[in-house]
Structure 1
């Protein structure tokens, strides 16, 4: 698994180990943590500490390709590295699959739709992406990664399965990753003002990480797969609604602080998951309130450990 020391990687590794699989992890710890390599459900087979854009050693039945900075804070701090990881890292994964016969689940993103003009977003929509903006390294990098995967499939017959991951949240998110759920939970628990950009009426759809892990595993195991497939929660929330929910669930006295909207920030984001339901028999099951409460509890425990 590339990016196995990251947020989703931790939960996916945990699930695979619990099911008795051997899992090797490739990570350079740009955004992942060594703490995420400790599992009580089993032992990771091998840690390959390198950049995914370098040739990948080993022979595998399947590769989950998750490696890439995924939050604006991280990818805007290293835009060239992010683009290289998204495109050339996928190239290396595909080359490994070509040589060994492995199949791969490629973690793409809802950001390939940009600031969408179609709502909800279906897999047939080509997107509305700014190729020269501050988010382009990630948005266009992931679009380029999809191109690489599909051309390896067409030319070399590689079984590449692209999933477009929409907003995912849960325990083990980094406090400082700049995503809306982690920002809100962290700020609320510290008693700091919750930062809402724009007027807060922009929408997002939030999928709990265990549901996302289930979708990723189903994508790998599916007998028939048609790329790409959206994975996300089709229930839509305004960002300011989420802020108020976090305040209530955390019993926080924090205020809400409104700031100007960042460049190219999508106004609406909601997946059409008809294809995931049809091909994978998958849809999210954890309500947002339940997932947020689990996240807040884990954030509070982690904060207590660091502060105490």
Structure 2
């Protein structure tokens, strides 16, 4: 049985990856410090003999007994509300955490996949974004703590590949959504759905002309899985290229939820990207991958998930206490 370590395993994407690797017959070692993850996301693995959990912060030394075949590094705050509240921790998990995991991969002779992001492209001057575009990022802006953590993550990963011959993979993840997201984490889908559930007007930043491209989580996980098992070393965009403006998307959410809210407008955050659309030609060619689940279907599943949560679960989903991490 092959063994895989998944960091950030109690998070949105991390927990879905645990599902996939258990399904594929792997022994899964899940690691998380619950800074943004939720224990409930991995609760269903209790008693599974092919699953074990380690409560650990990846910025600290990592030790895993026995052999290890694969590492998937998904530990990182990924939403604006989170990484703006804990900027130092965000930078540390992208730098120290990645360094620790690359060292572990080298020691275990394991293949490692690094979760990067479309945010490495910043506010792009090229549209749609291709993997050979270097990006337009403000290194000292408020979003720089996340963008630069991920850009450094890619750089050190390629350095380990070139210098040590380490087997590495890099996935550039575009906006992904689905069950187990947290409400009010600053990302547009849970923000809109949270407002709809509370009967509030939907907040659109700027004039709503900025665009995003939303990929359902099952499609994202499929792309990540194929990339891990591929022979390609460079970064690969995994996302849904169907682009929509935020204003149009707010109208879709109002229609989906059957509410009577209207949209209200606030100032656009600093360095918020005006366009976001992946060019997935490389993923199609290398992996035979493209998204299968349309936005209408995926959004309904996601809204039904949020609507099914109890009041206690909704509270946990909407509130995150960073007091133990703020000073670190």
So what's the TM-score if we normalise by structure 2?
0.91
What's the CA shift string for 1:145-165, capped at 9, x where partnerless? 001100000000111100100
The whole-number CA distance in structure 2 between the counterparts of 1:88 and 1:306 is 32
Q: Is residue 41 of structure 2 the alignment partner of residue 36 of structure 1?
A: yes
Q: Is residue 307 of structure 2 the alignment partner of residue 297 of structure 1?
A: no
**Contact map agreement 1:197 1:261 (CA 8 A) in 2:** yes
The whole-number CA distance in structure 1 between the counterparts of 2:117 and 2:62 is 23
Q: Is residue 96 of structure 2 the alignment partner of residue 88 of structure 1?
A: yes
What's the CA shift string for 1:167-193, capped at 9, x where partnerless? 000111001211000001111121111
The whole-number CA distance in structure 2 between the counterparts of 1:218 and 1:240 is 34
The whole-number CA distance in structure 2 between the counterparts of 1:42 and 1:237 is 42
Unaligned regions of 5+ residues in structure 1, if any?
none
Aligned Cα root-mean-square deviation (Å): 1.5
Q: Is residue 62 of structure 2 the alignment partner of residue 56 of structure 1?
A: yes
Deviation at 1:271, TM superposition (A): 0.6
Match of 1:135 in 2: 143
Structure 1, 151-160 or 14-23: larger mean CA deviation: 14-23
Q: Is residue 27 of structure 2 the alignment partner of residue 25 of structure 1?
A: no
The whole-number CA distance in structure 1 between the counterparts of 2:203 and 2:150 is 27
Q: Is residue 251 of structure 2 the alignment partner of residue 244 of structure 1?
A: yes
Which of 204, 227, 231 does residue 238 from structure 2 map onto? 231
Please list, as runs of the form range in 1=range in 2, the aligned pairs for 1:250-265 lying within 5 A after superposition: 250-265=257-272
Match of 1:106 in 2: 114
The whole-number CA distance in structure 1 between the counterparts of 2:292 and 2:277 is 16
Unaligned regions of 5+ residues in structure 2, if any?
1-5, 316-328
SS of residue matched to 1:127: coil
The whole-number CA distance in structure 1 between the counterparts of 2:211 and 2:314 is 33
Match of 1:157 in 2: 165
The whole-number CA distance in structure 1 between the counterparts of 2:136 and 2:313 is 41
What's the CA shift string for 1:57-81, capped at 9, x where partnerless? 2131001110000000000001111
SS of residue matched to 1:24: strand
The whole-number CA distance in structure 2 between the counterparts of 1:188 and 1:54 is 40
Match of 1:2 in 2: 7
So what's the TM-score if we normalise by structure 1?
0.96
**Contact map agreement 1:17 1:41 (CA 8 A) in 2:** no
Q: Is residue 17 of structure 2 the alignment partner of residue 12 of structure 1?
A: yes
Deviation at 1:55, TM superposition (A): 2.1
Please list, as runs of the form range in 1=range in 2, the aligned pairs for 1:130-279 lying within 5 A after superposition: 130-222=138-230, 224-279=231-286
The whole-number CA distance in structure 2 between the counterparts of 1:41 and 1:48 is 13
The whole-number CA distance in structure 2 between the counterparts of 1:50 and 1:42 is 20
Aligned residues: 307
The whole-number CA distance in structure 2 between the counterparts of 1:287 and 1:42 is 35
The whole-number CA distance in structure 1 between the counterparts of 2:164 and 2:31 is 24
Moved over 3 A (4+): 303-308
**Contact map agreement 1:3 1:68 (CA 8 A) in 2:** yes
Residues 1:290 and 1:227: Cα distance change in structure 2 (over 3 Å): same
Deviation at 1:41, TM superposition (A): 10
